[in-house]
Amino acid sequence: MESILSNISIFGHGIAAALFAAIAIWQFQRKAERNAPQITLIIAVSLTSFWALSVAVEGPFSAMSNFGESLRNLGWLAFMFALLRSGKGRSEPTTINIIYVALVLVLIGQMIVDSLIPIFAGSPRLEGMTLYTALVLRMIFAVGAVVLVHNLYSISAPETRWGIRLPMASLAAMWTYDLNLFTITYLTQQFPAELSAMRGPAMAIIAPIMALASIRNTDWNLKLSRSVAFRSLSLIAIGGYLLMMIVIATALQIIGGDYARLAQVSFLFGTTVAALLLLPSGKFRAWFKVKLAKNFFQHRYDYRAEWIRFTDTIGRPGATSAPFHERVVQAIADITDSPGGILLMPDDCGHLVLQSRWNWQSIQVPAHACTSRTIPFFQDSMHIVEFDALRNNEDPKCDDAAIPKWMIEDQETWAAVPLVHFDRFAGLILLSRPRIHRTLDWEDLDMLRVVGRQVASYLAEARSQESLSEAQRFDEFNRRMAFIMHDIKNLVSQLSLLARNSKRHADNPEFRADMVETLQDSADKLNGLLERLSQHNKAKAEEPKAIKVGALIKSIVEKKQLLHSIETSEIDNLTAMADPARVDQILGHLIQNAIDASSGGQPIVINARRRDLSIAIEVIDQGVGMSSEFVRSQLFKPFASSKQGGFGIGAYEARELAKAMNGRLEVESKESAGSKFTLILPLAKNISEEISDDERAA
């Protein structure tokens, strides 16, 4: 058995020495400007190779092996310190620097004590004390090194942790293995040959991980997070682990027998596997966070940390950041550890519509996502709804008529947070169920109310900024119109002069040639100006009156028929209350947009039919269509257009003209399948009194 373990140790440490030497040579030969972390990494890898080689050649108990182990630890400690010092964002705390200095002193003391072992070889008592001291120093260093690995990873910004995750995990595994080895040796007073032999293969496994880490992070840049704090909880965890090791090892020592050593190795392997399975689990971390907050802290939330995270999420800059409304959902969802959420906001008609979603694609939101009581209820009460309590009839403050059925039926819907700004409803956030089931307590409710009001102010500010931006763009448009009018005035003056001169020089052939050239140039310039203008009716609008829809549509179709094929499948002879000029302008916009979106062989269909107490005029094309996202967020916004070179004012102006006649404009569209615009106008009342004799005859 001993020969087998000896061979495992020799070959394992030899392979580890070769792998780390290869990494050192590879890093050294790379032609690049090196920074401090890269230089210390090469040194640490080289010293690790030296230590593994000395163990393979001299054995694990030789003076050279002990010296190589101390140098290896010193090299990796220097690498971690260089990585920390190169971090951007904030200086590291003094306590961490003190720990680095203390660990260096421990290593120096360890090397001094190791050098005394051969000197005291003749005195069993002094030799035993020296070995005991060296073992304690190694345990102290292993504990401190694991703590430093944990803190270096925890103080780095989340976006840069991926670059140091592999090397930190490797160092944590290396020193945790050493901690178990030295702890078992200390408690059992025997050096575990099995763990010592497997130390080499374990390091051989770590070597490829280090190589992969060097590929992933070539510059070794680190960004420190705002919360650079020394985590005392890690010390408690390590102390608890050591206590557990003492209890179990003592129990195994009492039991004794041939299986004691096997039980020790099995325990080490089992705890390592359990850590690898549990720690990466998001559900386990959520459960641990809930239990920790419940049993160890007076308050559930660290309000300073939550506020910093909230503001960082909302105000995250950069082109790669998520859209603003998506960040709003994430900022509130992160507070309760909800994995997803959606934001509902009121539209111009007072209906709730889906504005944005974050990590929650499964929920189906209808076009009209609220009842008539939803907005008034949340606006007046600011009540946070917990849907599990609502489903169990345990929420007496909630108005059942205010909660749409689709919210209750989706079992993943967990909570609804109203967003109210100065008694004005700004939106509603739905949160999906957290990984660990829990109910909302008073602290959750207070926290969500505060952030709900804050988010509502952000949404109100964003809406104000959007309105201001539109006003500024209209001002810019008017300024450009002034320039164009100036150009038109110049062209009119040029043509007026040409007309006056033609009376005197009409018989001159050269003048006629110049006149033709001037007219052609003026026509080209006018055509260029017309391309830069959209059609606007500047005449004063008339009050709505009773008009025959059928006759108006027929006249419009006759004018547009020369440009494109137009069909009418159903035209009811109805009378609407509207302004003929504005209806003509709206339909002109819609038909022209349909022509632009359609190819020559695709006809446009126009229908007019009754819908309850209204008239629905449909303009249907089979053109390129529009995405639902564009229809929802861009179609009716000024200066947003899906056409190349379009001003994006036609649809906006058509909707505003319809509103002015107490009507509305609806749209249905699908990419590559065409669009249907529907103009809704009110039916005329007292038709016999509204329509003149001439209109009846028509």
Instruction: Specify the CATH architecture of the domain 301-533.
Output: 2-Layer Sandwich (3.30)
Angle (CA) 207-213-219 rounded to 5° is: 130
pLDDT at 226: 39
Burial of 75-86, coded b for 16+ CB within 10 Å and e otherwise, reads bbbbbbbbbbeb
Q: In CATH terms, is domain 2-231 a member of 1.10.30?
A: no
**Can you read off the two tokens belonging to residue 462?**
């964003």
620 DSSP β-pair partners = 605, 676
pLDDT at 34: 73
Task: Provide the residue type at 382 as one letter.
Answer: M
How many residues are there in the chain? 698
Closest to 552 (Cα-Cα) out of 527, 600, 520, 586: 586
Tell me the C-alpha distance between 358 and 342, whole Å.
6
- How crowded is residue 93: how many other Cβ atoms within 10 Å of its Cβ? 14
381 three-class SS: helix
- Going from N- to C-terminal start, the domains of the chain cover 2-231, 301-533, 545-697
Element (H, E) at 415: strand 413-421
**Is the CB of residue 422 less than 8 Å from the CB of residue 392?**
no
pLDDT at 533: 59
Tell me the C-alpha distance between 215 and 209, whole Å.
10
Instruction: Specify the CATH architecture of the domain 545-697.
Output: 2-Layer Sandwich (3.30)
**Is the CB of residue 604 less than 8 Å from the CB of residue 621?**
yes
**Can you read off the two tokens belonging to residue 661?**
């006649």
**Can you read off the two tokens belonging to residue 603?**
């006809």
pLDDT at 436: 77
pLDDT along the chain (698 residues), means of 10: 81 90 85 76 91 90 89 91 69 64 88 88 81 85 84 67 79 89 82 85 88 71 47 49 55 53 60 55 51 47 78 76 88 89 88 90 88 91 92 90 92 93 91 85 87 90 79 71 63 68 75 75 72 50 81 79 73 86 83 80 87 90 86 74 58 83 90 90 65 44
**Can you read off the two tokens belonging to residue 588?**
């002109």
**Can you read off the two tokens belonging to residue 306?**
């939550």
**Is the CB of residue 522 less than 8 Å from the CB of residue 495?**
yes
**Is the CB of residue 437 less than 8 Å from the CB of residue 404?**
no
**Is the CB of residue 612 less than 8 Å from the CB of residue 682?**
no
Tell me the C-alpha distance between 115 and 309, whole Å.
51
pLDDT at 537: 40
pLDDT at 186: 80
CA 61 to chain centre: 53
**Can you read off the two tokens belonging to residue 51?**
């230590």
Longest dimension (CA), the chain: 134
**Can you read off the two tokens belonging to residue 596?**
């632009």
**Is the CB of residue 329 less than 8 Å from the CB of residue 431?**
no
Question: Among all chains, which residue has been given the structure tokens 């164009």?
Answer: 484
Question: What contacts 64, CB < 8 A, 6 or more positions away?
Answer: 54, 57, 58
